[in-house]
């Protein structure tokens, strides 16, 4: 039994059964395939998270967001009057998570690239773009930069999916993707 | 701990023994008492935590929406801590004492320390629960900074962890004693080796926990001004995920143990099974990176290497166990004469014995639902379309509940007659229990994963966003999934209640086992054990057509579902 | 342990293979099992975090 010591004291030298060794081989190869798939997606796939991150502070990040809003605001949206910005394609755009809103609302053009900066000014938040279902963790003190290319026009919600206190379930933001003007 | 090793009979802390009438094992009375108290406390936390789980699930059922928001987050924190930490780890301590002192036929090292460990763990767990129930610590059991809990929340966890660490060292001490006193010959049994694996991972787990929770505690009382949230998360998951790997190791050890005790199964090969455990020891803990795949600040190289357990070597380990255990069962059953066709060995297995059916369901749920989804979620890019959605709790209710908890329940049906020496009461309920619980928790798992695929967030009180300044509607199917999840949760809770009822009644009010009752209904059927396994060692190259079919089905499901998810990923916005 | 085993089965005393001796030594395994994740996961991870540049 597996609950008594092996009778054969030199169990290491026992020959292996064919079925088992075949399975070990298959499982090992499958591991290599999965590893290779992950690596090669960085070269052939279009959905990879960037490795670009900077240390920042809530104030410094907040200033950049304000500057963008000042420059590109086109209207307001929602019960609380969150500004909507329409930044130039290709530019740096910012989205800030804080208790309990995503700020501001972004209006992006379909098929264009944007360098999206994500950070928080208080606790951790979860950037969950719906219904795309792209999910990224947002930390205070870190500015994560990713290049996004929205490829379908429409209205997208940014749900917070990291627990951030009692108002967590009210934290919803917006990204609009519009056809090129 | 090594001081007393020469004098087992000197009665160190009353090292007395009885001989088990069913297994012939020498049972150290201290080890026996400690196994009992740890198991009982474990079951208490399962009952309490499981009840919280039901309330949480009913709140997430939009049509019921049971609790107000503050209570939802409070009880979700308590649910995570009580079941994931306290139920599981108390039970694991019992498993460690069983796999050392009992299986190795020797006395437990330093029983006084083991009692101290127990007391510390109880105190820590109670303090943490009090902190959460007081309402100032609804931070989820992950307690990500800079959100802050009350100081005694962290303190409770630290005291609990110190206790657990002492228990782990009592286990290692017992291994030393067994070897020095020659209570076994050659190598330790495979089950004990599995327990060693669990204990090793536990040391890393608890060390990581100490590195991060002690400063966090100091921060909560104001001695430290800042804890970096990323640093916290990297180190915290060194504890949080590794502790799940303790569960995996302990649960696999139990699979081997129950297969051996009920069917007389011996591993296909000692060498391969132990190497599979070695893969766990070396690589399983790297998968802590699963939780950091969409974080800023750590590179893709770090993510890919760690999340893949160094080229999936630990997955290799699991796939080996996943074939080796059913294979060992098939071989044993065929030896016992169930040799017709592909699956007679499986059909004629003791499905009416909850210890067996629990383990069999645990293997299936863990492998098919938990294992495959875990590897997929742990793929660097695929995590993007799953992180922090309900897919995550869906996955781990298949691993840690359908897999580990069910395996622990299964072996409890052997522990009650063998260690508590009580008859199992309500045999019919006991017989059905693994099926009810297994079906319920599979539902919980599948429907949460379904909702997660549709984007529904975990730890979220209101997926209708009724109080939000901006609106969003999840698809109607998501609401349906949450309803089905609620129904499954009721079923799972019923299964949990059946377990608690049977175990508590048997332990406290059950009839004591007598020589007559043992003869009439032996816990361990003589078929496998006494005769057929006259010599113990690896199986001699049996034919295993049934197992081959089973692992083939598993492999095909794995590959298909893996690439389906890449397809999903390829359809979302390009990002780099 | 195995080296000193008296071989009660009467088998001729053979040298225990190195891999088996490793697997029979819980404390060596303990060391490896702690060192491996400490270096590959914790240290490497913490080093990367400490090298994150400051935003301009
Ligand atoms: C009757 C049985 C159970 C039911 C119905 C149940 C149900 C649930 C539900 C609905 C959630 C909430 C998901 C969310 O909103 O994010 C949850 C979370 C969780 N459950 Fe369970 N559960 C059960 C048993 C268990 C057991 C036995 C364990 C561990 C061994 C466990 C571990 C967890 C953990 C760790 C979480 C995550 C808590 C968090 O997000 O902080 N559950 N459970
Ligand atoms: Cu938030
Ligand atoms: Cu939130």
Residue B142 CA: which ligand 1 atom is closest? 41
From CA B512, how far away is CA B509, in angstroms rounded? 9
Confidence at residue B29, expressed as pLDDT on a 0 to 100 scale: 87
**Residue B224 Cα to chain centre, angstroms:** 35
Q: Which of B271, B312, B375 sits opposite A12 (nearest CB)?
A: B271
B18: how many CB neighbours lie within 10 A of its CB? Answer: 12
Which secondary-structure segment (H or E) carries B391? helix B391-396
Cβ of B283 within 8 Å of Cβ of C41? The answer is no
Tell me whether residue A90 is in a domain. yes
Query: pLDDT band at B10, cuts 50/70/90?
Result: very low
pLDDT tens per residue across span B12-28: 444 688 888 887 788 88
Q: Which two tokens stand for residue A181?
A: 């003007």
| pLDDT reading at B567 higher than 90 | yes
Which whole-number Å values give the CA distances from B275 to A6, B97, B194, B310, B387, in the listed order? 15, 23, 11, 15, 32
Picking from A120, A133, A153 by the largest number of B CB atoms within 10 A of its own CB, the best residue to mutate is A133
- Chain A residues with CB-CB distance to B465 below 8 A: 159, 169-170, 172
- Angle of helix B111-134 relative to helix B29-60, nearest 10 degrees, comes to 20
Q: Which of A9, A13, A143 sits opposite C7 (nearest CB)?
A: A9
**Cα angle at B132 between B130 and B135, to 5 degrees?**
110
Does any CB of chain B come closer than 8 Å to the CB of residue A112?
A: no
Residues 6+ apart with CB under 8 A from B200: B281, C26, C29, C30, C33, C34
Contact yes or no for B205/B246 (Cβ under 8 A): yes
From CA B116, how far away is CA B34, in angstroms rounded? 11
Residue B496 CA: which ligand 1 atom is closest? 1
Which whole-number Å values give the CA distances from A47 to A54, A147, B287, B298, B384, in the listed order? 21, 10, 22, 17, 9
Nearest-CA distance A78 → chain C (Å): 31
In which residue are the tokens 């007598």 written?
A: B514
Length of chain C: 56
Residues 6+ apart with CB under 8 A from B382: B376, B565, B566, B569
> Does B459 contact ligand 1 (Cβ within 6 A)?
yes
**Ligand 3 center–CA B244 separation, angstroms:** 25
Q: Phi and psi of B308, rounded to 5°?
A: -90, 15
Cβ of C20 within 8 Å of Cβ of A11? The answer is yes
| pLDDT reading at A166 higher than 80 | yes
Tell me whether residue A101 is in a domain. yes
Picking from B71, B299, B575 by the largest number of A CB atoms within 10 A of its own CB, the best residue to mutate is B575
Cβ of C29 within 8 Å of Cβ of B281? The answer is yes
Strands A92-98 and A82-85, by their bridges, are unpaired
> Does B401 contact ligand 1 (Cβ within 6 A)?
yes
Does any CB of chain B come closer than 8 Å to the CB of residue C20?
A: yes
Counting Cβ atoms within 10 Å, is residue A21 exposed (0-12), middle (13-18) or buried (19+)? Answer: middle
From CA A54, how far away is CA A66, in angstroms rounded? 18
Confidence at residue B2, expressed as pLDDT on a 0 to 100 scale: 36
From CA B134, how far away is CA B262, in angstroms rounded? 46
Q: What is the mean pLDDT of residues A112-127?
A: 95
| pLDDT reading at B451 higher than 60 | yes
* Nearest chain A alpha carbon to B312: A31
More confident position, B319 or B526: B319
DSSP states along B451-468: HHHTTPBSS-S-TT-TT-
Confidence at residue B11, expressed as pLDDT on a 0 to 100 scale: 42
From CA A37, how far away is CA B127, in angstroms rounded? 46
DSSP states along chain A: -TTS--SSTTGGGSPPPHHHHHHHHHHHHHHHHHHHHHHHHHHH-SB----EEEE--HHHHHHHHHHHHHHHEEEEETTTTEEEE-PPTTSEEEEEEETTEEESEEEEETT--EEEEEEESSS-EEEEEETTTEEEEE-BTEEEEEEE---S-EEEEEEE-S--STTGGG-EEEEEEE---
pLDDT tens per residue across span C33-51: 999 999 999 999 999 999 9
Query: pLDDT band at B282, cuts 50/70/90?
Result: very high
Contact yes or no for B437/B406 (Cβ under 8 A): yes
More confident position, A17 or A141: A141
Residues 6+ apart with CB under 8 A from B303: B289, B292, B293, B380
* Nearest chain A alpha carbon to C55: A54
Cβ of B264 within 8 Å of Cβ of A133? The answer is no
Does any CB of chain C come closer than 8 Å to the CB of residue A142?
A: yes
**Ligand 1 center–CA B79 separation, angstroms:** 6
More confident position, B484 or B518: B484
pLDDT tens per residue across span B210-226: 899 999 999 999 999 99
From CA B338, how far away is CA B342, in angstroms rounded? 10
Contact yes or no for A152/A80 (Cβ under 8 A): no
Which whole-number Å values give the CA distances from B495 to B130, B248, B433, B488, C51, in the listed order? 27, 22, 5, 11, 50
- Chain A residues with CB-CB distance to B462 below 8 A: 169-170
Tell me whether residue A21 is in a domain. no
Q: What is the mean pLDDT of residues B460-477?
A: 90
Which whole-number Å values give the CA distances from A179 to A107, A138, A171, in the listed order? 10, 28, 27
Counting Cβ atoms within 10 Å, is residue B208 exposed (0-12), middle (13-18) or buried (19+)? Answer: buried
Cβ of A146 within 8 Å of Cβ of B228? The answer is no
Residue B485 CA: which ligand 1 atom is closest? 10
Asked, as a colleague might, if the bond just before A131 is cis with ω within 30 of 0, I would say yes
**What does the DSSP 8-state code read for residue C38?**
I
Residue B87 CA: which ligand 1 atom is closest? 30
Report the range of poorest mean pLDDT among A61-70, B264-273, B293-302, B474-483: B264-273
Confidence at residue C13, expressed as pLDDT on a 0 to 100 scale: 61
Confidence at residue B540, expressed as pLDDT on a 0 to 100 scale: 65
> Does B489 contact ligand 1 (Cβ within 6 A)?
yes
Q: Is B549 helix (H, G, I), strand (E, B) or coil?
A: helix
Neighbors of chain C by Cβ distance (3+ pairs < 8 Å):
A, B
**Ligand 2 center–CA C48 separation, angstroms:** 26
Asked, as a colleague might, if the bond just before A104 is cis with ω within 30 of 0, I would say yes
Mutate to test the pocket of ligand 1, among B47, B51, B79 (most ligand atoms within 8 A of CB): B79
Residues 6+ apart with CB under 8 A from B454: A131, A133, B474, B475, B477, B478, B481
From CA B529, how far away is CA B265, in angstroms rounded? 8
**Ligand 3 center–CA A127 separation, angstroms:** 9
Q: What percent of chain B has pLDDT over 70?
A: 95
Q: What is the mean pLDDT of residues A115-143?
A: 94
Picking from C22, C52, C53, C56 by the largest number of A CB atoms within 10 A of its own CB, the best residue to mutate is C52
From CA B365, how far away is CA B438, in angstroms rounded? 8
Report the range of poorest mean pLDDT among B385-389, B490-494, B521-525: B521-525
From CA B477, how far away is CA B542, in angstroms rounded? 48
* Sheet architecture: strand order including A82-85: A73-77, A82-85, A105-109, A172-178, A154-160, A125-130, A134-138
Q: What is the mean pLDDT of residues B540-563?
A: 90
Q: What is the mean pLDDT of residues A170-181?
A: 91
| pLDDT reading at B518 higher than 90 | no
CATH number at residue A108: 2.60.40.420
Tell me whether residue A145 is in a domain. yes
Tell me whether residue A156 is in a domain. yes
pLDDT tens per residue across span B168-191: 999 999 999 999 988 888 889 999
DSSP states along B22-60: TT--EEEHHHHHHHHHHHHHHHHHHHHHHHHHHHHHHHH
From CA B334, how far away is CA B249, in angstroms rounded? 27
In which residue are the tokens 């730890």 written?
A: B459
Nearest-ligand number for the alpha carbon of A99 = 2
In 3D space, the residue among B482, B431, B433 whose CA is nearest the CA of residue B456 turns out to be: B482
Tell me whether residue A44 is in a domain. no
Contact yes or no for B494/B443 (Cβ under 8 A): no
Write out the residue range of the structural domain in which residue A89 sits: 52-178
Range with top average pLDDT, A68-82, B248-262, B446-460, B509-523: B446-460
Strands A172-178 and B17-19, by their bridges, are unpaired
> Does B212 contact ligand 1 (Cβ within 6 A)?
no
Nearest-CA distance A148 → chain C (Å): 20
Q: Is B523 helix (H, G, I), strand (E, B) or coil?
A: coil
Q: What is the mean pLDDT of residues A32-37?
A: 95
Which secondary-structure segment (H or E) carries B19? strand B17-19
Tell me whether residue A12 is in a domain. no
| pLDDT reading at B3 higher than 50 | no
Counting Cβ atoms within 10 Å, is residue B41 exposed (0-12), middle (13-18) or buried (19+)? Answer: buried
| pLDDT reading at A55 higher than 70 | yes
Counting Cβ atoms within 10 Å, is residue B40 exposed (0-12), middle (13-18) or buried (19+)? Answer: middle
| pLDDT reading at B535 higher than 50 | no
> Does B405 contact ligand 1 (Cβ within 6 A)?
yes
Confidence at residue A71, expressed as pLDDT on a 0 to 100 scale: 93
Question: What rounded mean pLDDT belongs to chain B?
Answer: 90
Q: What percent of chain B has pLDDT over 90?
A: 72
Residue B493 CA: which ligand 1 atom is closest? 1
pLDDT tens per residue across span B123-180: 999 999 999 999 988 999 999 989 999 999 999 999 999 999 999 999 999 999 999 9
Confidence at residue A181, expressed as pLDDT on a 0 to 100 scale: 67
- Angle of helix B406-415 relative to helix B229-263, nearest 10 degrees, comes to 40
**Residue B144 Cα to chain centre, angstroms:** 23
b/e code A36-54 from CB counts within 10 Å (16+ = b): ebbeebeeebebbbbbbbb
**Number of structural domains found in chain A:** 1
- Angle of helix B29-60 relative to helix B88-97, nearest 10 degrees, comes to 160
Number of separate helices (H) and strands (E) present in chain C: 3, 0
Tell me whether residue A75 is in a domain. yes
Residues 6+ apart with CB under 8 A from B306: B286, B287, B288, B289, C40, C41, C44, C45
Contact yes or no for B141/B84 (Cβ under 8 A): yes
Query: pLDDT band at B522, cuts 50/70/90?
Result: confident
Query: pLDDT band at B8, cuts 50/70/90?
Result: very low
Residues 6+ apart with CB under 8 A from B509: B425
Q: What is the mean pLDDT of residues A84-108?
A: 93
Strands A125-130 and A154-160, by their bridges, are antiparallel
Alpha helices in B454-544 (DSSP H): 476-509, 515-520, 526
Confidence at residue B364, expressed as pLDDT on a 0 to 100 scale: 95
pLDDT tens per residue across span B412-444: 999 899 888 899 999 999 999 999 999 999 999
Residues 12-31 of A with CB under 8 A from C: 12-13
> Does B60 contact ligand 1 (Cβ within 6 A)?
yes
């Amino acid at each position: 039994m597996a609950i008594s010591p092996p009778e054969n004291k030199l169990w290491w030298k026992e020959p292996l059964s064919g079925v088992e060794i075949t399975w070990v081989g298959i499982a090992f190869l499958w591991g290599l395939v999965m590893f290779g798939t992950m690596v090669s997606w960085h070269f052939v796939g279009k959905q990879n998270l960037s490795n670009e991150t900077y240390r920042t502070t809530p104030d410094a990040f907040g200033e950049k967001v304000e500057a963008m809003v000042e420059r590109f605001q086109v209207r307001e949206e929602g019960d609380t009057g969150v500004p909507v910005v329409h930044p130039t394609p290709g530019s740096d755009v910012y989205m800030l998570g804080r208790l309990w809103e995503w700020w501001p609302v972004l209006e992006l053009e379909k098929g264009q690239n944007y360098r999206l900066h994500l950070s928080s000014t208080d606790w951790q938040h979860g950037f969950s773009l719906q219904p795309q279902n792209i999910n990224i963790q947002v930390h205070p003190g870190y500015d994560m930069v990713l290049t996004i290319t929205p490829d379908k026009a429409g209205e997208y919600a940014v749900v917070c999916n990291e627990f951030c206190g009692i108002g967590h379930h009210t934290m919803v933001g917006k990204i609009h993707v519009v056809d090129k003007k | 701990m090594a001081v007393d090793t020469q004098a087992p009979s000197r009665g160190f802390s009353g090292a007395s023994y009885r001989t088990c009438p069913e297994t012939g094992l020498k049972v150290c009375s201290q080890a026996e008492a400690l196994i009992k108290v740890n198991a009982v406390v474990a079951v208490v936390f399962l009952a309490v935590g499981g009840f919280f789980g039901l309330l949480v699930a009913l709140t997430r059922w939009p049509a019921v929406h049971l609790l107000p928001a503050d209570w939802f987050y409070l009880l979700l924190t308590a649910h995570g801590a009580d079941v994931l930490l306290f139920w599981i780890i108390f039970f694991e301590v019992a498993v460690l004492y069983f796999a050392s002192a009992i299986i190795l036929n020797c006395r437990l090292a330093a029983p006084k320390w083991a009692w101290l460990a127990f007391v510390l763990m109880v105190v820590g767990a109670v303090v943490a629960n009090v902190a959460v129930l007081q309402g100032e610590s609804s931070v989820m059991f992950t307690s990500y900074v800079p959100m802050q809990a009350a100081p005694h929340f962290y303190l409770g966890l630290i005291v609990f962890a110190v206790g657990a660490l002492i228990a782990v060292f009592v286990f290692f001490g017992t291994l030393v004693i067994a070897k020095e006193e020659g209570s076994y010959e050659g190598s330790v049994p495979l089950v004990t080796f599995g327990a060693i694996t669990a204990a090793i991972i536990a040391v890393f787990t608890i060390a990581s926990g100490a590195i991060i929770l002690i400063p966090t505690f100091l921060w909560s009382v104001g001695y430290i001004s800042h804890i970096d949230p990323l640093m916290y998360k990297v180190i915290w998951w060194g504890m949080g995920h590794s502790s799940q790997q303790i569960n995996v190791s302990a649960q696999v050890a139990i699979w081997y143990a129950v297969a051996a005790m009920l069917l007389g199964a011996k591993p296909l090969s000692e060498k391969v099974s132990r190497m599979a455990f070695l893969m766990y020891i070396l690589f399983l803990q790297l998968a802590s990176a699963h939780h950091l795949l969409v974080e800023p600040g750590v590179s893709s190289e770090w993510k890919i290497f760690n999340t893949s357990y160094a080229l999936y070597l630990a997955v290799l380990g699991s796939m080996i166990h996943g074939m080796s255990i059913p294979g060992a069962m098939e071989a044993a059953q065929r030896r016992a004469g169930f040799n017709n066709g592909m699956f007679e060995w499986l059909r004629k297995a003791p499905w009416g014995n909850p210890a067996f059916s629990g383990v069999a369901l645990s293997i299936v749920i863990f492998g098919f639902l938990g294992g495959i989804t875990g590897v997929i979620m742990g793929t660097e890019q695929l995590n993007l379309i799953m992180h922090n959605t309900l897919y995550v709790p869906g996955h781990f209710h298949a691993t840690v509940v359908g897999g580990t908890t069910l395996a622990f329940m299964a072996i409890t049906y052997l522990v009650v007659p063998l260690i508590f020496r009580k008859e199992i009461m309500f045999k019919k309920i006991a017989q059905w229990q693994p099926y009810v619980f297994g079906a319920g928790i599979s539902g919980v798992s599948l429907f949460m994963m379904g909702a997660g695929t549709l984007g529904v967030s975990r730890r979220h009180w209101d997926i209708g966003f009724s109080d939000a300044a901006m609106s969003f509607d999840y698809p109607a199917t998501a609401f349906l999934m949450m309803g089905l999840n609620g129904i499954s949760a009721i079923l799972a809770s019923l299964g949990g209640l059946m377990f608690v009822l049977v175990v508590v009644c048997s332990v406290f009010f059950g009839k004591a086992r007598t020589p007559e009752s043992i003869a009439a209904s032996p816990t361990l059927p003589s078929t496998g054990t006494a005769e057929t396994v006259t010599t113990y060692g690896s199986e001699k190259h049996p034919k295993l057509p049934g197992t081959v079919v089973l692992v083939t089905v598993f492999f095909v499901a794995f590959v298909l579902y893996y690439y389906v998810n890449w397809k999903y990923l390829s359809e979302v916005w390009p990002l780099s | 342990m195995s080296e000193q085993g008296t071989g009660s089965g009467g088998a001729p005393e053979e040298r225990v293979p190195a891999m088996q001796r490793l697997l029979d030594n819980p404390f060596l395994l303990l060391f490896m099992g702690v060192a491996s994740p400490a270096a590959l996961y914790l240290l490497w991870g913490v080093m990367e975090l400490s090298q994150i540049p400051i935003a301009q």
